[in-house]
Each structure stands twice: as structure tokens, then as C-alpha cells.
Structure 1
Amino acid sequence: MAVRPPPSRPTPPRPADRVRVLLPLSLTIAAGIAVVLPATLPAPARIALFAVLLAIILWSTTSLDVAYVGLGAALLLLLTGVSPQERLFDSLASDVIWLMIGAFILGGAVEQSGLAMRLAQRVIERARTVRGLFWFLTAVLIPSSLFVPSVSGRAVIAIPIFRSISSITADPRITRALALLFPTVILVSTIGSLVGAGSHLVANQLLSQVTGHRLSFGEWVLYGMPFGMVASGAACAVIMALFLDGERRGRRIRVPRRPRGSLSRSERITLAVGATMVVLWLSERWHGYESATVTLAGALALTAPGSALRWKEGVKSVDWNLLLFVGAALVLGGALIDTGASGWLFQALLRHSGIESARGRLFLVVAVGVMSLTSHLYLTSHVARIVALGPVLLQLAADRALDPAAVVFIGTVGIDYCLTFPVSSKALLMFQGLDGETFRPADLLLLSAVMLPIHLALIAVFHFTYWRWMGLAP
């Protein structure tokens, strides 16, 4: 007769497991109490504020997928009647979503055709010293935001280039500096393109919802690309100064020349279609076709039979999870504005921050810069940050009779900065997690301690000079 083993005792929960459950639960209860207390807040605004706070808490303290959390919070608004049911479906059918779909297909063609690696190799071969290599890499990475509509997508393309170069330099300190350079330039140059990050599209959509006006692709490049170039150059110089000594910066290197060969058919098609799309994006005001329409036409051209990509390959290159996240974010941000919750938040911010008594333009620019630059410390998603700050920034513009496009754009510049912790960006996590020599979290903290005040100073300088000259001034 078989002897049954004694029943296994359930494993008691570990303290870390309790913290993972109790922390979001306690913060959710605190958020519920906080939105109930203000007597001047209407019920729909309370629900909208609670839904956004709940999403922020779950985004920040759990491992739940950001799109899952966002859709759950949006569903809460729909079921309670705060937002009409059509709002979610309209957001998923908006031109923002179609623009992102087409841009992802373009990014997939650039990567899979080998065009990205070919262009990078041609530029890198010109480097003679480590210093020159760093500057050439910076120059290559900056315009990538025009073609690849995802920070993590640009990081994926850059990783093989990093591995190839680090094997040539064969110096751990140079490799560590390179591991910092790639994601840093990818992040700070993101502002150079409307499709550089999903947060840009959400910010533009919120701006359109409130004012009826949005920035075109060309306007965004005009305002953002010069800032991205200067900020990337500053980041490159700081990384070399902090992590490389004079001998290493001046060390001569020899990048082996690889057989180039002629462009393949898919590379030629991708280059021609991509260049045409960029030209049409930049000239939107002359031909009248919106960026989403141009992008969709380009995506169809790239996936036509015998073109650069098969249709199924193009569809696979789309980050559908991000699209759902953006759709849910539009619902959350719109609810804050429609219910008046953003106005209430703004008034609370005025009372407790000292902005209310300040009338100086410099102080306002610095205040917006500080709020947006530090937002990555408590929200690890670009889109989540614009959902939380976008309505408040629009309310600030309305209250002070400022140009809402300028205020939202300056806030977006700060939101794109996320260099303090590896978890603040997928690009940082991807490079830190590579095998072999890479940067340490302490290296990132040191870099951010120097770059954050530089970034803030650049925002102020651009506001009072270049952006004002170009007509983008609060």
C-alpha cells in the first residue's frame, strides 16, 4: 500500500511580497481619501483624478503592463460615466495612432533592410581618435528620431553598433563611456521629432483638444531639433569629461573598413520612401496632407509587393502595446481637462509651490522646467508623465494668458529627460543589461547630477533666444 507523502505546507509570503502588495494598496487608499476630502471638487472630477492617480500608482509600484493599467483606468472612467464610451474608441482611431503605425513600419524597414547599420558604418569609419568617434556617433544618433518612432526601437538598432565598436576599442573605461553615450544621446535628442516618442503625440493631441491647434511635424522639428543637437553635444562632452581621461580621449583608433557594396534593392526603396516621407512631413503646410496621411502612404509603399518589407513583417514591427497605451492615455488626459480636475490641480500647485505670487517670466520657465525634468523620478513612462503634467501645463497657460503650445512644448522637453535611474527608460535598461562591460547605476547618477542643471539652463536659454525668435514663446 503506497504511503502518501505528508501534505506540503504553504510557503509563507516573504516580506518583499507583502511590500509589493501593501504599497500600491495603501497608496490607492490614500489617493481615494485625498480625492474625497476637497469640498470644492465635483464628483466627476474626483473620479477622473482618482483614475489617474490609480494608474500612476500602479505604473510606479507594480510590474503590471502599462497598457493594461491604462486601459483599466480608462474603463473606470467609461463605466462611471465620467467619459463617454466613444472617447476610448475615438482615441484608438485618431490620427495619432495611424501616425505611429506608419512610423513603426518605417522604422522596421530601416532596421531590417540594413540601412541603419550601413549609414552608421560610413560615418564611424571617418573617426581617427576616441574623441572623434564619440562626436561622430552623436551625429549619427541625433537624426534617428526622424525615422524610428520609439526610444527603445532606436536603442535596439544602436546595440549592434555599440557591440561592434566596443570590440574594437577593447578598453573597459571607453566601453563604459560608450554604453552611457548611446542611450543618453538617444534620449536627449528625442525632442527633435514629433514621432520621436509617444509622449509627443499625446501632448500634441491634448493641445489640439484644448486649443484646436497642434504643432505640425515641421514646426516640431524647427523647435526641437536644434535643442536636441545642442543637448546631445553637451551630453557627449560631459560623458567624455567625466569618464575618460585626456589620454583616452586622444587615443588613436582604427575602425576596420568593411566591404560596402552597392545598396540592396530594399535599402534603396527604404531610403527613397523615408526621405520622401520626411520631406512631405516638413512641407505639410504647403501640400495640405497631414502627417498621418503621409505616414500611412509611406507605410503602404514600403510593404507593397516586391518592396522593402512584406506586409506581415511590417505589421510585426508595430508596437501594438504602445498604441493601446497611448489610446488609454488620451482618455485619461482628456478626462482631467473636461471635468475640471486639471484646473483644481493647478490651483493646488499654485498655492503650495509659490508660483502664484511669482510673475517673472524666468521663474515660470524654470518652474515648468523643474517640474518636467524631475517627473521621471516618480513616473517611469514618457506617456504617463505627459498624462499627469500635460493638463496642468495647459491650465497654467490659460491662467497666465501664455501661449499653450510653448508651455506644453517646454514641458515635453523636460519630460524627455530621464537619465537619473536605469528604470527611467527602456533604452537605459537595455544597455545596462548587456553582457560584458557597461555602466553602473552610480555612473548614471553622476551623469545626471551634471546634466540636469545643464538641461534646465538650456531650456531657459532657448526660451529667451531661439524659441522666442522662432515665435514659440509663452
Structure 2
Amino acid sequence: MTEKKVEMGGNKPPIKQKGRFEAGMKKWGIPIAIIVVLLLLLMPAPEGLEPAAQKSIAIFAGALVLWITTPIPIYLTSLIAILLLPLVGAVEDQEVAFGTLGFDVIWLMVSAFVLTSAMMKSNLGRRFSLWMVTKFGKTPTRTLVVLVIINFVLAFFVPSTTARATLMLPICLILLEVYKAIPGKSRLGKVMMLQGLQADALATSGVMTATSGNIIAVGFINEQAGGSLGYMDWLFASMPAAIITMIITFMIGLKLFSIKEEGNFENVMDTLKGELSKLGTFSVAEKKASIIFILTVLLWATGDYHEAWFGFEISTEQTAVIAALLCLLPKVGMLEWKDANIKWELMIFAAGAYAAGNALDESGGAVFLIGKVVDGLGIDQMNHAMVAIVVIFLSMYSHLIFTSKTVRVTILIPAFIALAKTLGMDPVPLALAAAMTMTFTITLPPHSKVNTIYFSSDYFTIVDQVKYAVVTCFIGASVICLGYFTWFGLLGL
């Protein structure tokens, strides 16, 4: 590891060469999607399937093939779905398809990207991370604990898993460089990187705005399941499970990859203090970012009291837009529009996903499909408790097949909502429990950009990651199951 590598903030993820299977999927994705759509459109409708439902299933299935095989960017697939839904008659009113870009959740995503840009540009996140490590990380084990805590704290302020990994990796590399840790040999480096990517994932599951996938899931739950989940509802339901899982798996990680107290850690602290001092005094941009983030969190946390305090309620989405506005206002904020790294392709993808999913739900296509699955697997013979356990574990390990969180959310959450309705279960807690598993994309490097970023450090192998992840996912699913049967009830879910 060179000094230049540390100064630059770590390696960039290596360009992943496409394997034969992945190349084949890209090559045949479009023909397969066309065949699937035509077969479903032209086949005789099964008994109980309305024409609009059949058409919505066809469009959704074709989009699903393209989203998974990615022969074209996922946002282009969404545009195609939005265009086709009213054209083929899957929806009667084109507003159902074209109006999704105006959903509240889309505005929440836009604002989240603005907040992320503000956090990165102001250097507030880097300063906070370096201060935490130098203040409290006096030993290797305590440093690992501090790094986990930083990941959880940043989840409230940086609504991007990749941004947080990009922020944390350079700090870890500085630590290990000064500690003379050798990539591939250092157990401290191995456990630090593995717990870093896991803390990123688990912290994300605890905060609704920590990733766009959570926001999309809430949109489905509120739109299709009749829920009214807000920022604090998600936080109280999910964060305890995330913390419990992290504590258990942290201790297991120290057993799997035992580290010894060796070397003089004071030298490491001196170097990190030097990095912190390079940031100089608290800048105006950092002060502005701090005020905006504190205001945002306070508004999110006190949503239940707004009516009594102000005479009106400020919703989660409105709070996010207020925060984005403050970041962008001349003289008030620290960003110009060109600095806001808003991923419009993700907005278009989400809009198409909502359009296809809502068309499937409103036409009755989702209920029909889930009914067939229930009959085929015999799920209807299970009691509701067993159904919940099966759903949570299926959702947890679904990342082994679908590597995109947003695609998994789009496929699974509406399906689980429809399943719950079919079986007479309350769809809100079931879909919420399933959504809490969506960020556990921790088993292999390609399963998320965060994994790839940490894997690029060369401190751990794929076998190391799989070994740790299998345990973590099982514990995570078990804790969420326990929360579903106990904690959710206490919360009134």
C-alpha cells in the first residue's frame, strides 16, 4: 500500500470483468424480454385473470427480465415500461404511469442526494470521523468499535451507502498504513474492512433515508399496503434490530478473526491527529452543514409534535426538501446546483418501478400471481407465523440472486404485500420486516458497490467475506423475526 494510495483516499474499485454468464445475460436479455412479453400478452387468459391484469403482468415481467439482465440501463427499461403501460391498456389513465415521477418519495430521494453532496463537499463527515477515532480509539478493539459507531451515526446524515464507504475507507487505510498492517496478512485489517462493510449495511437498514432502497420500500408499503410509515416509524422498528445484530456479529467477528493487542497504537493516533489538523478550523461550510443537518434530524424526530407546536405537520418529505433548499440557497447554503450529485437515472428507474408495480397491484395481477405461488408452494397451509419467517429469510438471502437493492425492493416488496393480502395477514409489518433485510448485501464483492470498495483494499478474501456474511445474515434474519413477533406489536405495527 503506497502513501499515494492513502492520500488519494484509497483505491478506486477495480473494473470488474464480465464473466461468460453475465455477458450472455446482456446479449440475450432483450430477445428474452420481448418473447416473455409477447407470450404473456398473446396466451389465453387463465380463469380469473382480467385483461388489464394480464397486460400489466406482461409489462412487469418484461421489465423484470431487462432489470435483471441489464442489456440496457435500468432507467431506460423504466421509461419503456412507463410508455407501454397505457399503450397496451394495462392502465386506463396514463396518469397512473406518468404521474409516478411526482410521488412524494421521489422528492425525498432528490433531497437525499443534495444532502449527501453537502456532507461531502463541506468535509463535515471526514472531520467527524477523524475526531471520533482520535478521541476514543486508543486500542485496536476500541478503534473497531468507534468505526462501527461512526458508520451508524453517518447513516443519519449521509443518505448513500457508497458515499459513506468512500468516506470511511481512506480513514481505515490511514490507520492500517501507520499501524504497518500488511494487506492479506493483517487480521486487524481483515476484520476492520469486513466490519466496515457490514456496519455500512446494518446501519443503512436502521435509517429510512440512509439509502434510496428504503425510501422506495416505504413508498410501496404506504401506497399499496395502506401504511402510513414515516421516518420515526422506520427508525423505532428497524434500528434496534440493526444494533443488536451489529453487537452480536461484532463479537463473532473478533472470534472468527482474532486480533491481538500489539504494537504502539499511539503512533497511529498521532498520524490521524495530523490528518485532522490539516482540515484546519471549523469552516463556514461545515458550520452551515451542521446547522442544516441538526435541524433536519430534529424535524424528523419530532414529527408527532408538529401539529401541537406549529398548528401544522411538516412531513418527512417536506423536511427533506427544506434541508435541500437550505443547502442550495445563496449565502445560506454551501452548494450550487451543479455541485448537487443528483442521480436522475435512479429517479427514472424508481418512477418506472412504481408505475409497473402499481399497475400490477391495481389491476389485480399481483394478487393473481401470488395466489398461484401460494397454491404451488403450499404456503396457504402454513400458519401466519411460519409465513412471516419464510418471507424474512427469503428476503434476506435474495441478494444472492438479485445484486441491486432497488431491483430487489421493486420485485419483492409488492409481492410480499400481495401475499399478505391473499393470506389475510396485515401487509404493513410483513413488508416492513422484509424491507429491513434489503440492505444486507454483504456476501460477495459484486453484491454492492460498498463491498467492492472495501474489497479493493486487499485486506480480506472472498472466502473471508462469505464466511462472515453467512453468519451475519442468519443472525440478522433471526433478530428481525424476533422483532416482528415482539417489538412490532409494542410499537403498534
Task: Settle same-fold status: TM greater than 0.5.
Answer: yes
3-state DSSP of counterpart to 2:380:
coil
2:164 partner letter: R
Report deviation, 1:186.
Answer: 1.0
Structure with bigger RCO (C-alpha 8 Å, 6+ apart): 2
Q: Deviations over 1:127-186 (max 9, x none)?
A: 122211111111110122222222222222223223222323332233233222222211
Distance 2:343 2:36 in 1: 34
Distance 1:378 1:246, change over 3 A: closer
Report deviation, 1:281.
Answer: 1.1
2:230 partner letter: S
Match of 1:456 among 477, 480, 485: 477
Distance 2:114 2:423 in 1: 41
Report deviation, 1:62.
Answer: 3.2
Q: Which residue of 1 aligns with 2:298?
A: 279
Distance 1:245 1:353, change over 3 A: same
| Cα pair 2:98 2:355 within 8 Å, conserved | no
Distance 1:58 1:360, change over 3 A: closer
Distance 1:86 1:437, change over 3 A: same
1:177 aligns with 2:184: no
Distance 1:294 1:23, change over 3 A: closer
Q: Deviations over 1:313-363 (max 9, x none)?
A: 44x3222221111111111211110111211221122123332111152x1
1:247 aligns with 2:260: yes
Match of 2:365 among 337, 341, 364: 341
| Cα pair 1:52 1:332 within 8 Å, conserved | yes
Report deviation, 1:117.
Answer: 0.7
Q: Which residue of 1 aligns with 2:467?
A: 446
Q: Which residue of 2 aligns with 1:224?
A: 238
Q: Which residue of 1 aligns with 2:16?
A: none
Distance 1:415 1:32, change over 3 A: farther
Q: What TM-score does the superposition give when structure 2 sets the normalisation length?
A: 0.85
Moved more, 269-278 or 29-38: 29-38
1:39 aligns with 2:64: no
| Cα pair 1:113 1:308 within 8 Å, conserved | no
Q: Which residue of 1 aligns with 2:252?
A: 238
Distance 1:25 1:169 in 2: 54
3-state DSSP of counterpart to 2:159:
coil
Report deviation, 1:20.
Answer: 4.2
How is 1:74-223 mapped onto 2 (pairs within 5 angstroms)?
74-83=82-91, 84-125=93-134, 126-171=136-181, 172=183, 173=186, 174-223=188-237
Q: Which residue of 2 aligns with 1:6?
A: none
| Cα pair 1:129 1:251 within 8 Å, conserved | no
Distance 1:33 1:252, change over 3 A: farther
1:402 partner letter: M
Match of 1:56 among 64, 88, 94: 64
Q: Which residue of 1 aligns with 2:393?
A: 370
Q: Which residue of 2 aligns with 1:11?
A: none
Distance 2:264 2:240 in 1: 30
Distance 1:246 1:295 in 2: 42
Distance 1:429 1:121 in 2: 23
Q: Which residue of 2 aligns with 1:297?
A: 322
1:441 partner letter: I
1:278 partner letter: V
Report deviation, 1:274.
Answer: 0.5
Q: What TM-score does the superposition give when structure 1 sets the normalisation length?
A: 0.88
Report deviation, 1:215.
Answer: 0.5
1:320 aligns with 2:344: yes
Q: Which runs of 5+ in 2 are unaligned?
A: 1-18, 307-312
Runs of 4+ residues deviating >3 angstroms: 14-20, 22-38
The share of aligned pairs that are identical, in percent, is 22
1:301 partner letter: L
Report deviation, 1:469.
Answer: 1.8
Report deviation, 1:414.
Answer: 1.9
Number of residue-to-residue matches in the alignment:
453
Q: Which residue of 1 aligns with 2:14?
A: none
| Cα pair 1:20 1:62 within 8 Å, conserved | yes
| Cα pair 1:267 1:308 within 8 Å, conserved | no
Q: Which runs of 5+ in 1 are unaligned?
A: 1-13
1:123 partner letter: M
| Cα pair 1:124 1:137 within 8 Å, conserved | yes
